[in-house]
Amino acid sequence: MATTDPTLTTATKIYYGMPNFAGAAMGIAVSIHINIFYSDVVMIPLGYIALAVALARAFDAISDPLMGWVTDRTRTRWGRRRPWIAIGAPLQAAALVALFSPPESFTIPQLSVWFTLCFICYYLTHTILAIPHYALGPELTGDYKERSSLFAWLEGFTLLGVIYASGVPRLVTQRIFGELLGFTIFAIITGVLLVILYWLLVYKLREKPEYSAKPPNPLAPGIRRTMRNRPFRILMISTLIGSLTAGIPGYLMPFFVIYVLKPPDPLNWVPWMLMVVFISSAVTLPLWLKLANGIGKLRALITARFLAIGTFFSFFFMGEGDIWYYAVFVGLAGAANGATQFLGLAIQADVIDYDELLTGHRREAQYQSLWAIMTKFTMIPSAAVPLAVLAAMGYAPNIDQNETVIFTITALYGLSTATSSALALVVLLWFPINETVHRSIQAAIKKLKLGETVIDPLTGKEISPHDEREVDEDTGWLLDHFSFRELVRAGTKGQSTLVHSTGLAVLVSLGLGLTTCWAAVVSLGDLSSPPGLTAVLMIVLTGICATALCYHALRLAAARRLTIQPVHETLISKHLATLST
């Protein structure tokens, strides 16, 4: 229920945001430290690491929409989100400790398997924990500016956790205990902290019971209705374009500092540069919040995108000895990143309010999970492909790299990220919701609940109360398993055509998945040599095909239901008329 909520207490914002201190520390350890740790300490070839990353992230992306659907449908006296948060926290902590505790007696192939399994478990447990956590945020307040403040607190704790993870493993822990034991101790400390902070959130915060009172929606048509949300599509496309290279700065920073800038004692410079990034993000966060409250979240986000483009472009022109120039510009990049993160979350919450106006449902978790799966699919290449490309270009650990490898690092780290940021900015300029429009959306939602017909603030078209629409709610959700074209064909040629179209989609997804899986196996061979770029790409495509297969299988089940209990042609026509307007 979107209403004008009272101001959140500072304590509420702290309890909600504080777990991200430990969660972000885990994220930095896995996204930045893990590659150098396994390639240069454990001595696993980069090709194997790229393969494991692709497998884990592909599997992780499939689990996200399922988790969103599950938590939206959960009904307990503790709410929809808190039970999963309580379960997920200790599971993720255990996965992190295992990831940073590779058995010293294992061979390289055994360590590769260990890394892959632990990496998959880490991201699976992260899904169980993060989807409900981020879905809880938009439910805590419907106020436009309070959401900016809530997610600014969340981002603030995130940055503190990132600073902790950037410096502690290399500057303190491993100097005292050594590489292997040092990272294990870091993982144990961070895991315990994660459990404490998330359980404190579960104990202190309460969910709004009116959100759980509404019936949940089916998974497949929920995804289709989500994609009809125009503000969501614009924001998603912009984010997806930016996500194509989002993993590159984190994954390649150690390589850029060590092999391109080549400062004295480069391993010690890496954590310092990471701290520059995240201290800059934290210090500038209040300034970005003030700017957002003054000119609006959207304009502030556009400003941050412009700053990111300039800083990423500058990295391409840096070379040996430019460490101090790099420190200045990477600090600016950190400031832009901090703004992008919390403003993006705050704007996502407003998009969910517009969905409630259109559908009458609160579907925070489904939006968050769809957001996660799509961004993770685009981030898989940015996480795995650069490592595979470096391996293909001749990268070898702990030696000076040739000119081809150095150029590849600078091009990936600078030009690719600047280009994707520029394209993301162009799309973002079309986003339609500002504070005035959001206020109109909330007012329309309240009027709908009173049984009044309202005007859509974005399209200018009438929206009738949900219980007065010509097609009842259950039938509407059932028909939304299918596309507009499929329903038109069903209305003219019979509803059995839906079985044919969805069955064909299942077979195509299965066939493509098996083909890409076979291509990946052939590319891998007997694993006697590190896997190449082809194997990584085939695994990514297999993950996409598996997700499509699950989606179309759900649609096929709905089509078979219609062959048993057909919907009257008049209702299909009315549903199509609603979609066309």
- Residue 455's DSSP bridge partners are 462
Q: Give the 3-state secondary structure of residue 43.
A: coil
The answer to whether the beta carbons of residues 201 and 85 sit under 8 Å apart is yes
The answer to whether the beta carbons of residues 142 and 3 sit under 8 Å apart is yes
DSSP for 457-477, please give it: TTT--EE--GGGSSS-HHHHH
Cα 292-376-286 angle, rounded to 5 deg: 20
Name the nearest CA neighbour of 232 among 70, 357, 72.
Answer: 357
DSSP 8-state secondary structure symbol assigned to residue 400:
P
Mean pLDDT, the chain, rounded, equals 85
The answer to whether the beta carbons of residues 28 and 22 sit under 8 Å apart is no
pLDDT tops 80 at residue 460: yes
CA quadruple 302, 306, 307, 308: dihedral sign: positive
CA separation for the pair 365, 374 (Å, rounded) = 14
pLDDT of residue 381: 67
Rounded mean pLDDT, 223-234:
88
CATH H superfamily, domain 10-433: MFS general substrate transporter like domains (1.20.1250.20)
pLDDT tops 60 at residue 261: yes
Cα 150-153-157 angle, rounded to 5 deg: 145
Percent of the residues in the chain that have a pLDDT greater than 70, as a whole number: 91
Give residue 6's pLDDT band: very low, low, confident or very high (50, 70, 90): low
pLDDT digits 0-9 by tens, 416-450: 999 999 999 999 999 999 889 999 998 999 898 88
CA separation for the pair 304, 286 (Å, rounded) = 14
Burial class (CB in 10 A: 0-12, 13-18, 19+), 492: exposed
Cα 143-149-154 angle, rounded to 5 deg: 120
CA separation for the pair 512, 544 (Å, rounded) = 10
- Residue 463's DSSP bridge partners are 454
**Those residues with Cβ within 8 angstroms of residue 13's Cβ, 6 or more apart along the chain or in another chain:** 149, 150, 153, 154
Tell me the whole-structure pTM to 2 decimals.
0.74
Structure tokens at 223: 């995804």
- Write down the domain spans for the chain: 10-433, 434-468, 469-580
Rounded mean pLDDT, 399-421:
89
CA separation for the pair 502, 514 (Å, rounded) = 18
The answer to whether the beta carbons of residues 465 and 445 sit under 8 Å apart is no
pLDDT digits 0-9 by tens, 495-553: 899 999 999 999 999 999 999 989 887 877 665 555 666 776 787 788 888 888 988 99
CA separation for the pair 509, 546 (Å, rounded) = 7
